[in-house]
Amino acid sequence: MNKLLAALTALSLIAVASCADLRDLSALQQDLAHEFHHAAVNVNVNNGAYLTVVFQNSQFPSLPDSERAAFAHRVAVFVRDHYRGVGTTLDCPPSSG
């Protein structure tokens, strides 16, 4: 019985942590949409380590390379500063442009 209770407790803690992560991702998605004036933003975490941000149906891919790089940098800095799941591993040096 104690093993079952311990297992259920562990699963409950994982579920609570997952819900918090989903809330954080949802908040990040809404913040990105607001900050960059784009309604269709998808945010996803893969394998617990890789965060992807996709601006669907946007004009950003058609920008010149330097403008696309500057935009990507702005998004990365925004994510670093607004998503607590990033930790300290995301290195976003100042933009060169």
pTM here? 0.68
Contacts 24+ apart (CB under 8 A), 84-87: 84/24, 85/21, 85/24, 85/25, 85/45, 85/51, 86/51
Render pLDDT for 19-57 as a digit per residue (tens, 0 to 9): 447 788 899 999 999 999 998 999 888 777 788 899 998
Residues ≥6 apart with Cβ < 8 Å to 69: 97
**Is the Cβ–Cβ distance between 36 and 75 less than 8 Å?**
yes
Q: Is the dihedral of CA 4, 9, 10, 16 positive or negative?
A: positive
Q: Which tens digits make up the pLDDT trace of 6-21?
A: 444 444 334 334 444 7
The tens digit of pLDDT for each residue in 58-69 reads 888 888 999 989
